[in-house]
Amino acid sequence: MNEFLKAVQQRASDRPKERTGRTECPYCSVQCTMNLHEEKSIRVSRFSVSPNKEDPVTDGRLCVKGLNAHVHAVHEGRLKYPLLRIGASWAAVSWEKALAEIGGRLRTIQAKYGKDAVGVYGGGSLTNEECYLLGKFARVALQTKNIDYNGRFCMSAAAGAANLTFGSDRGLTNPLAEVPLAKCIILAGTNLAECQPTIMQYFRKARSEGCTIIVIDPRETGTSAIADLHLRVKPGYDAALVNGMLKVIVERGYVDRAFVESRTTGFAELEKHLRGVSLAEAAALSGVAPEAIVEAARLFGEAETGMVFTARGVEQHASGVANVRNFLNLVLLTGKIGRPGCGYGAITGQANGQGGREHGQKADQLPGYRLIENPEHRAYIAKVWGVPEEELPRKGVSAYEMVEAIDRGEIKGLIVLGSNPVVSSPNSRLVERALAKLEFLLVIDLFESETARLAHVLLPGSAYLEDEGTITQLEGRVVVRRAVKPLPGKAKLDWEILCLIAETLGKGQYFKYRSAEEIFNELRIASRGGIADYSGMTYERLEREKGLFWPCPDEAHPGTPRMFAERFGHPDGLARLVPIEHQNPKEVAGRKYPYLLTTGRVLQHYLSGVQTRNTPELNSKYPEPLMEIHPETAGEIGLVNGGHAKVSSRRGTIRLKVKYSPKIRKETVFVPFHWGDDRCINRLTNPALDPVCRMPEFKVCAVAIAPG
Ligand code: SF4
């Protein structure tokens, strides 16, 4: 057994065998804290969780997912041993054998086809330490340019827009505690009530204190139930709607001239563009009545304070960056940012959607939100890592484009950690086909996911109860998640697995960590001076202060709960107003495909469902995807509630159970995306990509529907 593996095994046996205590939910970006309890009897242990009353964000709330989050982690069906593909079946093997196989296969592929022939695919639920390490592993151990992650499908449009407009991307510019200070709030394309239920309290409180809430969503949802004004926009027409609002704001004098003059550039161009916008056309395109657009603009324009929040409904489009930038225009024109109760928030979906996008697992990125094509950034990180700058690879391609490169035969080997691209990618048939072509696929996961089924080696990774590390939750607050339970069987911590593979590849000297905290301490140095500067944070401070907001550039710095109070992130300190031309979705309803499909989450499930489908308490409540359709539309097609429909797009057909919903627009159907195989709605979705951020157009494609 090699020394490195021996040290890892020794650490595992030194860890306490039984632990309970405080940890954090593995699911959405709120990161509610919880206490794990173990009740032991002679034969079995029973686990349960309870909310943590001292949680700084949720005051001890957990949603149904959080209350059942531990169930998948203690599931008997967890992977417990390394598995090697032998023909159509798996053989359990030792770590030595699995690592020898992995090292041999990766070396062979890189020797034959070049370093970039191996790709790495990460996830937005990994800890900051693992995101950081995965980026370093790709660039230093494999020396491949091909690394990206599933957060590309989650936050990239909001991040792209914030970087362009503000010069910096932190999901929420203000802490949630400031929400009740807002007098008008716009919630666009976000269903907080189902996706982040424990923060609804902030919006309810705001409303009870006189705030007006405007929801922009094609569907009536639990979130729109608290709205004073609900604009049921047609999927894909947000930018047109906002152009109408901006026009009203300029024409009726709601522009904060002093703010615009002192804090922004680009007003003249935006004003000129808005002169050419027709309110009637904005209404016709968006499906929202002109009076409602005027009213929304008036409410937001007249309010003394206000905030705008966006999420995937606005962002998951081939024009996602432009859509978000138009909402940022709204915030800037009215001067509603950088003050208490004034700001913008991208409601991140994944557990570590924020930290996951900061520390180097994106194709174009290095830690601290540095850029891999920037010579100074390259030199700094190369020095931290102790490698020559010229050995760092250049920029790679985005997640879906990496799959296309596999399909073309340019990438021959892939390592997937904490992700299930066969379910979560658009046009997922192509993903299945491409991954099946790989000469070597290594998957590290908790269960045999749809992606893992295609693997040549499957390694048992760590669940949230076992995996220590930091997470940056949706506010930009960095928190420590403590391990509260030992690993099952021969499973290993995800970061340890990366170190072991690096050792096998002869690069172990760069990966000699003994704890997640050691990785974090290196991340702190790597992020120093970057946009997302964590250098003033220590585990001890994060615990004591219940998290810290970045940037936090030194150990005496209090962190930055509110961004942009005095200047924006661009070198001149000014934000960029920009004219946004509405662009139609890449597919519009037509003769052959007369309806619009939009996708999203339901309360009981998370992402590709690997964890929540393995939680009977959740899965039994929502066991299969339902197609929500307006009863009148269903009647026209001949569908009955509870019956089945065949839904087809240009990319495929699937069969779904029908659920009547008078709460949805008549031309639109909604299907959740948490299932694989012949229930995978992403077999139908459109892989058209945003030109700036490479976000696919998940949120709208044209479909045909027939009884089935
Ligand atoms: Fe909290 Fe989100 Fe977990 Fe629900 S899913 S308990 S809101 S972190």
- Evaluate: CB of 196 within 6 angstroms of ligand 1: yes
Signed CA dihedral, 386, 391, 394, 398: sign only: negative
End-to-end CA distance of the chain: 57
> Residue 24 is which amino acid?
E
- Evaluate: CB of 25 within 6 angstroms of ligand 1: yes
Burial of 622 (0-12, 13-18, 19+ CB in 10 A): middle
The span from the CA of 682 to the CA of 685, in Å, is 5
Identify whether the C-beta of residue 702 lies closer than 8 Å to the C-beta of residue 589.
yes
Identify whether the C-beta of residue 427 lies closer than 8 Å to the C-beta of residue 685.
yes
Cα 7 to Cα 268, 462, 515, 542: the distances in Å are 63, 18, 12, 28
Tell me the HSE value of 601 on the side-chain side, using a 13 A CA sphere.
28
* Lowest-pLDDT choice from 40-49, 485-494, 611-620: 40-49
- Cα-to-centroid distance, 60 and ligand 1 (Å): 11
The span from the CA of 328 to the CA of 326, in Å, is 5
Identify whether the C-beta of residue 616 lies closer than 8 Å to the C-beta of residue 652.
no
Residue 19: per-residue pLDDT:
62
Task: For 549-582, write each residue's pLDDT tens digit.
Answer: 999 999 999 999 999 999 999 999 999 999 999 9
Counted residue by residue, the chain has a size of: 708
List of residues 6+ apart from 209 with CB closer than 8 A: 180
Q: What is the pTM of this model?
A: 0.94
Residue 690: per-residue pLDDT:
94
Tokens coding 496: 């340890």
Identify whether the C-beta of residue 40 lies closer than 8 Å to the C-beta of residue 485.
no
- Evaluate: CB of 197 within 6 angstroms of ligand 1: yes
Q: Using only C-alpha atoms, what is the Rg of the chain?
A: 24
Q: Give yes or no for residue 653 having a pLDDT over 80.
A: yes
Binning pLDDT at 50, 70 and 90, where does residue 15 land?
A: low
Identify whether the C-beta of residue 340 lies closer than 8 Å to the C-beta of residue 305.
yes
Average pLDDT over residues 435-454: 97
Q: Give yes or no for residue 242 having a pLDDT over 60.
A: yes
Q: What is the mean pLDDT of the chain?
A: 95
Among protein residues, the one with the nearest Cα to ligand 1's atom 2 is: 28
Q: Give yes or no for residue 6 having a pLDDT over 90.
A: no
Residue 16: per-residue pLDDT:
59
Residue 227: per-residue pLDDT:
97
Residue 369: per-residue pLDDT:
93
* Cβ neighbour number for residue 170 with a 10 Å cutoff: 28
- Cα-to-centroid distance, 589 and ligand 1 (Å): 36
Preceding omega of 180 cis (within 30 degrees of 0) = no
Helix (H, G, I), strand (E, B) or coil at 202: helix
- Evaluate: CB of 672 within 6 angstroms of ligand 1: no
Task: For 507-528, write each residue's pLDDT tens digit.
Answer: 999 999 999 999 999 999 999 9
The span from the CA of 133 to the CA of 537, in Å, is 18
Identify whether the C-beta of residue 366 lies closer than 8 Å to the C-beta of residue 372.
yes
Average pLDDT over residues 402-419: 97
Which among 700, 510, 702, 682 is positioned nearest to 150, based on CA atoms?
682
Among protein residues, the one with the nearest Cα to ligand 1's atom 8 is: 31
The span from the CA of 49 to the CA of 37, in Å, is 6
- Cα-to-centroid distance, 504 and ligand 1 (Å): 38
